[in-house]
Amino acid sequence: MSILFENCDLLLRGEDGVYSTLHGFLGVRGDTIDYIGTEKPTGEYEEHKSMEHKLLMPGLINCHNHSPMVLLRGVGSGLPLQEWLFDKVFPIEDRLVPEDIAAGSRLAILEMLASGTTSFSDMYFFPAETVAAVAEAGMKANISRCVQCFDENQTVEQNTQIPQSVELFEKYHNAENGRIRIDFSIHAEYTCKPHIVRAYSELCKAHGGRMHIHLSETQREVNECIARYGKSPVAWFEELGTLDSPTAAAHCVAVSDEDIAILKRHGVNVIHNPTSNLKLGSGFAPVRKLMDAGVNLALGTDGAASNNNLDMFEEMHLADIMPCGYRHDPTEVSSAEVLDMATVNGARLQGRSDTGVLAVGKKADIIALDLDKPHLYPNFDTPALLTCAAHSSDVVLTMVDGKILYENGEYKTLDREKVFYEARAAVKRLYA
């Protein structure tokens, strides 16, 4: 399949991180961008799309999600993290069956495709169901089965989640032409035990896997970890060997300068989740400090139960303005840096060097926004237009690996009615 997008604005990123726009043409052949230019290319394309007043940009990458948690949207609102998680969320999660995960993953994918997300990183239960949903939908995802342990007497051999996680990796890593990648995952310091973390981290390294964890989300988590082990969660994971694999660490709200030095030393990727941190009252991640230290910073929504949606445009908006507000400095974070977080930095975190920017030779993971809207005119600063003025409802097209998955409200791969029917059945079952 080949498609030529004609007469559109294209969001391009220079090697120096400076964004610019070009009015012209973008060609897609197979799963790859094969032409970008102001002149119409001479090669033949099977399909031509006139994109007047539309802007093409790289698809957004949601680097921290628990996609089936859309079924828990709104559960436990108003509670701090520990109470929200242990008193409200865990009891419902104990009732989840694979059908719920299948339904929740598909509902989440509908939401993500319509709001311009082309790839996400997921950490949850029954992940083979999420793998099947992503395969059917045509999206990209780094999926993991998270490991937990609440019993210090449990041996490594008795932990059932570790073999499930390894089996998932062996079965599905790089499936669907690499669209699906499998990560390793430890839920958090406070939901696991050191001997399990050490053994599982060694397995991750031996498999050449990537690790996805929650890290230093609140000051309370850090204080309790110091009381238990005499060190911060960052230092704890470092000592147990977790950070020896490429690691994606969600939150990092309560990190010290020493923690940041450890994160940098191990090349840990940090996922900033501003909405979740605000909603649960967790605080403000030190984004400028992390970026100045050279830490790769990506962006995520977290699960819908603590957000309460999967809208990366909202996440970009908060990531742009929130640090400027709390630091009393409008230059704290730039819109271009936020665009990087949501695209190219996310691709790096997921281990996908072939996406995250519009460039010839890169995978065609592209979204189109309709600029013919009152709230998008005039445009003197495209990065700021995208992070501070655009809404996810401006997305009119979502393409992954050269295939259009969503266009003008229509889903091309998933049956919207069927997804809703199954989601309603799951909600009825869960909350009966």
Interface contacts to Zn ion, rule CB under 5 A = 302
The nearer residue to Zn ion, 36 or 305, going by C-beta atoms, is 305
Taking the complex as a whole, the smallest distance from the CB of residue 217 to Zn ion amounts, in Å, to 8
Which phi and psi angles does 399 have, rounded to 5°?
A: -120, 135
Token pair, residue 108, equals 């989440």
Q: How far is CA 267 from the centre of its chain?
A: 18
Which of 302/311 has CB closer to Zn ion? 302
Buried b (16+ CB within 10 A) or exposed e, 86-125: eebbeebbeebeeebbbbbbbbbbbbbbbbbbbbbbbbbb
* Closest C-alpha among 54, 117, 110, 20 to residue 369: 54
Tokens of 1: 């399949």
Distance CA 94, CA 417 (A): 27
Q: To the nearest whole angstrom, how small is the minimum distance from the Cβ of residue 280 to Zn ion?
A: 10
Residue nearest to Zn ion (CB): 302
Smallest separation (angstroms) from Zn ion to the CB of 27: 38
CA dist 291 and 287 (Å) reads 6
Of 81 and 333, which CB lies nearer to Zn ion in the complex structure?
A: 81
| Between 245 and 282, CB nearer to Zn ion | 282
Find the shortest distance in angstroms from Cβ 401 to Zn ion.
Answer: 27
Task: Tell me the closest approach of the beta carbon of residue 5 to Zn ion, in angstroms.
Answer: 35
* For Zn ion, the closer CB: 302 or 365: 302
Question: Min. distance of Cβ 94 from Zn ion in angstroms?
Answer: 18
191 or 334: whose CB is closer to Zn ion?
191
Nearer to Zn ion, 49 or 214 (CB): 214
Q: How far is the CB of 390 from Zn ion (least distance, A)?
A: 25
CA–centroid distance for 70 within its chain = 14
The upper half-sphere exposure of residue 378, i.e. CA atoms within 13 Å in the direction of its Cβ, equals 1
Q: Which is it for strands 2-13 and 19-29: parallel, antiparallel or unpaired?
A: antiparallel
Burial class (CB in 10 A: 0-12, 13-18, 19+), 224: middle
3-class SS letters over 347-385: HHHCCCCCCCCCCCCCECCEEEEECCCHHHCCCCCHHHH
